[in-house]
Each structure stands twice: as structure tokens, then as C-alpha cells.
């Protein structure tokens, strides 16, 4: 499936996905992630072409998309079962038939016993399961999940993430999932699509995107330093623990060195993580002992250099 | 009382407030106190009263039905469809709220009277009939209903309509299965308001539909004529309307208290 979406000033993206594929969409706030989803679903006006067919003038109900909203948006006056049966019934299925389908979906999500409950009687995780089941019950060609784990507590997120992964593997259509969380991308994605300023900055398998990020946002998500070199033609990425911190300009011929002020220090596992305002901002991990010995405090001028062996270098564009 | 101690409430505010309360309460209290309780059953049982009661009950009920049938789609249109001139339509719909009822009656006569602009072309006559009563009542009650329902529709916003659309529901399905059930508290409140307004309607009714016992004589119209001929009957009927009005108020307060 090939999708082109265009909402002037907000997002302009093309993506290709195989049937059954899960694309996780990441990017900073304002990158156009939600806009992309909303344009595809028809919730915002914009040009959408799916497999060469122009959807732009199709009303929302005529598009074969399922949408899972950030706040579960379950109909408060309907039971969990009626919420899930709503889609099949709206698409013309008989009531008994729709109810049976809905019950099957609730069973698949392990919440068949909650069928008669109203949304306010469900926990956040249960409600989001109902919402996902409701979107899947309409058998959409495209499933759009807009930060489906937002607002859930960590353990509920964890459980739902694992479960969602299982359902997405069975889902025959294309799934697009917007997230802020690198772990969603790494665990759920067949491929990751990175949006930046409304454009597709990078597409690839999660491991590849994590190892060779092309945007500062993704680098930060996966905890890598990212520096543009060779007039912006190339990027180098290296982990914070491959950075050497010193108070004086390092000797030797290495060109991978930067000068700047310590912006903050924070514990990071067993280490101390330093944020240094260089150009660009860089992270460095060092032992607490080393941090004390160097007398590091915010505002201190330091030199950073990267161990050449830990640096990966790649083209800035795919 | 809790909260910071800011000192005594100033007399200059307390005195007018007390006078205001007295102004509102004293007439109603005397109405209750002065009710001829002993003759009350006889008064309520007389034929002219029973007829007026029946007409008021029927016309107010039909008015509520008219408001629900016409007002619900109108409120939906105002709350959900972005069309040119929406502000103008809303303003026009609200005019009867502030219009003197007698002017409403004159306007209805002008339009639907036997020689009225529209009325002269109709194969049937509306003025001085029960349908005239209902029409006049609906004219003055509809704005109350529309305001309440539009408010209810706006509270929930369009979020659930959007969800329904993504699940494949066209707007009629979404209206039936999502919008309407969620607006039910507003529909009930609007119905109660419209009913109360219809119950007390006098000016527009007597102007447009007249005051014929057994056909168009409602409770307020009967009270008006009885006050000259038999003040005790007028007071008895007034008490009855007072009780009904207060009942509506209590009903609505509970409704709103739950909603908050």
C-alpha cells in the first residue's frame, strides 16, 4: 500500500507499506505525526492518495480506516460490548451478528468478562483494550493508533504493549502507530518512520534507525550523540560513554573534539550523565569519581572528544 | 461560614437585598396563606376548571412534543453544522425569549389569522382552536428548549461524533446512537423548561387563540377571567400553577446538580 498525505504547512509525507506491516511514526512535537494520522482518516482536510486512489473528498465513514485516539474516547453511554459492536453495526451488520463479532474481539483481548461494563467502570488499560478492539472490529484497511499508551501507568503500558504487538501481528492491514517512546518503536515496529518538520526524515527497520539516526530527536530517543560532519553530507553517532571529558584541550590529532559549558549533571545508572552546550549539544557519561575529580559543575568549561572506535559514520541522506 | 473573615456584610447591600427577597416572596406567601383551603376541592372539581385544566395539560404536552420534534434538529443544526448565517438564525430563534407575548400573539394573527398572509391560503383555520393554542405555546417555548439542548450538545463537543465517523457511522447514525443519547439530560431539561413556559402562557394564547371555555381556555386565561368574577377560584388555580412551577424548578435543580 502506498499513501501520500499532504496538509500544507503541517505535513507532507509519502509512505509505502506491505500488508500486515506495522509502521511506528516518531518525531518531535509539531513534526506532524498526529496531522499525518488525522489527514489519512479525514479528520482534517488535506490531500490523501491511497494506492493511486484519491481519498481527499471521501467523508470519514467512507474511508476504511480504524482510529485509536489518545484518550480512549469510548462512548460513555454504551457498554464495552456495544462500543465494539458500534462499528460493525454502523457498517450495516445485523445486531446479533455485530454483537457476536464484538464479543469475539473482547475475548481476544482477554476482557470478555467486562462486556457489560460502562467505560467509567473500566481501568485505563481495559478501556484502551476496548478502544483498540473497537477499531479492529471494523476490519479496516489501515489502522491508525495515535499514542495509544499515553496516560496509562507504566505497568499497564508494558502489558498493553506486549498484547498489542500480538494483535498487530495478526492484523492483515497496514498499522500506523504514533509514539513518543523509543521502546514502542523498538518492540512494535516492522519499520520506523521518522517525521521532522512535516517531512519524512528517515524510514527503516528499528535497529537500523536506532543505530544510525538521522535526526537529533531520534538520536536523543536512543541515547546517542549526533553530529553533522563533512558540510552536512555525513553524520556521526556515538554513545555518551564513548566521550572523554577533560578540562584542557586534548592533545593529539583527533578532530572529533568539542568545547563547551556543562549545562547539567544527572545520575544515569551507575554513571553521571553530562549535558554540554557545545555545537551541537552533547551527552557524556563518566564515573562519579571522575566527575568529582574534575570538579564538574554547571557552567564549567570542558573539552569533549570521542573515541574514534566507538563512532559510526554514515551518509546524512538515505 | 468558612473562608477568610472579611468583616460584616455592609448594611447598604443587605437592605436592598432583603427588600428584593420580600418583593419576590411576600406575594407568593400570601397566595399560599390566603388560599381558601376548605372550598379548594369544590373549585378544582367545577366543570369550567376541569376543562381549563384538561386544555392546559393537553396543550402543554403537545407543546413539549412540538418542541422536541422541531427543536432537537434545530439545536443540532445550530450546534453542529457550520453554515452561513448561523448566527442570524440563532438570534432569530431567540427573539421570542425577549418578545412581549402579546406581540407574539399579534404576529401569529398577522401570519396565520384567517386573513393573515399565510393563514388565508390554508384550507383549515388555526386561530381560536386548540391547535392555535399549541402553536402559540410552541412559538414562545421553543427558544427555551433550543437553548437548553444546544447547550447540552455543545458540552460534549464533536469528539464522539468524530469517533462515530471513524467507525463508519454516517451523520444520521451518529445522531441517533451517540449525539442524542448523550444530549438526553439537556433534552429533559429543555422539555421541562418548555413545559413550564407553556403552562403559564397567557398573552400570546389569548391574543391568537382567544379565551373560549372548553376550546382554548387554558388555566392562566381562566384565572384572568375568574379574578373579576370569583377571586377565590383565581387564587386556588394560581396556587395550583405555583406548585407545578416550583415542581419543575426542583426537578431541574436536581438534574443540574447531578450534571455538575
Residues on chain B touching A76 (C-beta within 8 angstroms): 182
Q: What angle do CA A45, A48, A51 make, to 5 degrees?
A: 160
Based on the fold, state whether residues A206 and A227 are members of the same structural domain.
no
> Does the beta carbon of A306 lie under 8 angstroms from any beta carbon of chain B?
no
The reported pLDDT for the residue numbered B255 is: 63
Based on the fold, state whether residues A258 and A205 are members of the same structural domain.
no
Per the domain annotation, does B3 fall within a domain?
no
Is the per-residue pLDDT at A71 higher than 90?
no
Per the domain annotation, does B243 fall within a domain?
yes
The nearest CA of chain A is from the CA of B170 a distance in Å of 6
Return d(Cα A142, Cα A280) in angstroms, integer: 39
Rg (alpha carbons) of chain B, rounded to whole number = 22
pTM to 2 decimal places? 0.84
**Where does a domain end: A197, A216, A235?**
A216
Return d(Cα B153, Cα B79) in angstroms, integer: 6
> Does the beta carbon of B97 lie under 8 angstroms from any beta carbon of chain A?
no
* Contact yes or no for A61 and B181 at CB 8 A: no
Domain assignment of residue B215, given as a range: 47-259
Based on the fold, state whether residues A194 and A232 are members of the same structural domain.
no
Domain assignment of residue A23, given as a range: 2-216
> Does the beta carbon of A70 lie under 8 angstroms from any beta carbon of chain B?
no
Residue A160 maps to which CATH number? 3.40.50.300
**Where does a domain end: A153, A188, A216?**
A216
Per the domain annotation, does B18 fall within a domain?
no
Which of A19, A8, A1 is CA-nearest to residue A170? Answer: A19
Q: Tens digit of pLDDT for each residue in B53-70?
A: 999 999 999 999 999 999
Based on the fold, state whether residues A116 and A18 are members of the same structural domain.
yes
Residue A247 maps to which CATH number? 2.40.50.100
The nearest CA of chain B is from the CA of A150 a distance in Å of 18
Return d(Cα A291, Cα A285) in angstroms, integer: 9
* Contact yes or no for A60 and B166 at CB 8 A: yes
Number of domains in chain A: 2
The reported pLDDT for the residue numbered B236 is: 86
Based on the fold, state whether residues A153 and A279 are members of the same structural domain.
no
Residues on chain B touching A135 (C-beta within 8 angstroms): 166-167
Based on the fold, state whether residues A269 and A146 are members of the same structural domain.
no
Return d(Cα B55, Cα B7) in angstroms, integer: 55
Based on the fold, state whether residues A184 and A73 are members of the same structural domain.
yes
Which of B146, B155, B197, B202 is CA-nearest to residue B179? Answer: B155
Q: Tens digit of pLDDT for each residue in B100-122?
A: 999 999 999 999 988 889 988 98
**Where does a domain end: A186, A216, A246?**
A216
Is the per-residue pLDDT at B52 higher than 80?
yes
Per the domain annotation, does B24 fall within a domain?
no
> Does the beta carbon of A95 lie under 8 angstroms from any beta carbon of chain B?
no
Based on the fold, state whether residues A209 and A293 are members of the same structural domain.
no
Residue B137 maps to which CATH number? 1.10.3720.10
The reported pLDDT for the residue numbered B74 is: 97
Based on the fold, state whether residues A263 and A281 are members of the same structural domain.
yes
The nearest CA of chain B is from the CA of A186 a distance in Å of 28
The three grid cell numbers given for residue A193, joined into one nine-digit string: 518512520
Amino acid at each position: 500500500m502506498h499513501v501520500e498525505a499532504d496538509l500544507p504547512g503541517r505535513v507532507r509525507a509519502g509512505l509505502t507499506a506491505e500488508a500486515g506491516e506495522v509502521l511506528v511514526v516518531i518525531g518531535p512535537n509539531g513534526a506532524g505525526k498526529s496531522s499525518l494520522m488525522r489527514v489519512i482518516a479525514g479528520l482534517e482536510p488535506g490531500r490523501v492518495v491511497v494506492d493511486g486512489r484519491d481519498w481527499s473528498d471521501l467523508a470519514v465513514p467512507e474511508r476504511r480506516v480504524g482510529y485509536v485516539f489518545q484518550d480512549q474516547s469510548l462512548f460513555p453511554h454504551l457498554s464495552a460490548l456495544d462500543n465494539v459492536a458500534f462499528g460493525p453495526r454502523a457498517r450495516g451488520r445485523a445486531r446479533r451478528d455485530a454483537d457476536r463479532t464484538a464479543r469475539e474481539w473482547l475475548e481476544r483481548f482477554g476482557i470478555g468478562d467486562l462486556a457489560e461494563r460502562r467505560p467509567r467502570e473500566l481501568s485505563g488499560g481495559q478501556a484502551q483494550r476496548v478502544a483498540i478492539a473497537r477499531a479492529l472490529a471494523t476490519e479496516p484497511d489501515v489502522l491508525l493508533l495515535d499514542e495509544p499508551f499515553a496516560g496509562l501507568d507504566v505497568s499497564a503500558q508494558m502489558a498493553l504493549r506486549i498484547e498489542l504487538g500480538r494483535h498487530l501481528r495478526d492484523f492483515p492491514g497496514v498499522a500506523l502507530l504514533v509514539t513518543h517512546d523509543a521502546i514502542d518503536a523498538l518492540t512494535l515496529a516492522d519499520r520506523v518512520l521518522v517525521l521532522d518538520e512535516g517531512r519524512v526524515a528517515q524510514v527503516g527497520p528499528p535497529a537500523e534507525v536506532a543505530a544510525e539516526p538521522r535526526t537529533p530527536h531520534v538520536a536523543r530517543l536512543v541515547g546517542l550523540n549526533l553530529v553533522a560532519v563533512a558540510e552536512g553530507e555525513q553524520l556521526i553517532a556515538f554513545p555518551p560513554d564513548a566521550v572523554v571529558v577533560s578540562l584542557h584541550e586534548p592533545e593529539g590529532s583527533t578532530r572529533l573534539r568539542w568545547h563547551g559549558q556543562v549545562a547539567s549533571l544527572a545520575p544515569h545508572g551507575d554513571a553521571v550523565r553530562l549535558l554540554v552546550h557545545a555545537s551541537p549539544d552533547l551527552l557524556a557519561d563518566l564515573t562519579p569519581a571522575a566527575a568529582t575529580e574534575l570538579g564538574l559543575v554547571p557552567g564549567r568549561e570542558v573539552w569533549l572528544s570521542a573515541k574514534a572506535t566507538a563512532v559510526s559514520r554514515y551518509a546524512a541522506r538515505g | 461560614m468558612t473562608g477568610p473573615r472579611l468583616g460584616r456584610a455592609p448594611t447598604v447591600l443587605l437592605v436592598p437585598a432583603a427588600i428584593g427577597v420580600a418583593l419576590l416572596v411576600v406575594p407568593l406567601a400570601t397566595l399560599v396563606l390566603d388560599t381558601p383551603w376548605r372550598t379548594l376541592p369544590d373549585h378544582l372539581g367545577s366543570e369550567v376548571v376541569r376543562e381549563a385544566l384538561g386544555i392546559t395539560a393537553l396543550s402543554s404536552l403537545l407543546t413539549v412534543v412540538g418542541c422536541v420534534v422541531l427543536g432537537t434538529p434545530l439545536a443540532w443544526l445550530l450546534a453542529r453544522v457550520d453554515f452561513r448565517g448561523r448566527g442570524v438564525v440563532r438570534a432569530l430563534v431567540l427573539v421570542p425569549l425577549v418578545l412581549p407575548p402579546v406581540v407574539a400573539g399579534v404576529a401569529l394573527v398577522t401570519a396565520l389569522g384567517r386573513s393573515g398572509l399565510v393563514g388565508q391560503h390554508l384550507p383549515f383555520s388555526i386561530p381560536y382552536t386548540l391547535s392555535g393554542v399549541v402553536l402559540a405555546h410552541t412559538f414562545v417555548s421553543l427558544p427555551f428548549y433550543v437553548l437548553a439542548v444546544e447547550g447540552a450538545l455543545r458540552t460534549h463537543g464533536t469528539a464522539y461524533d468524530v469517533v462515530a465517523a471513524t467507525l463508519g457511522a454516517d451523520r444520521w447514525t451518529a445522531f441517533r446512537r451517540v449525539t442524542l443519547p448523550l444530549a438526553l439530560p439537556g433534552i429533559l431539561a429543555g422539555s421541562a423548561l418548555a413545559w413550564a413556559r407553556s403552562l403559564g402562557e397567557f398573552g400570546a394564547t389569548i391574543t391568537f387563540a382567544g379565551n373560549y371555555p372548553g376550546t382554548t381556555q387554558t388555566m392562566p386565561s381562566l384565572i384572568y377571567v375568574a379574578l373579576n368574577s370569583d377571586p377565590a377560584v383565581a387564587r386556588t388555580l394560581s396556587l395550583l400553577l405555583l406548585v407545578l412551577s416550583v415542581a419543575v424548578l426542583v426537578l431541574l435543580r436536581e438534574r443540574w446538580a447531578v450534571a455538575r
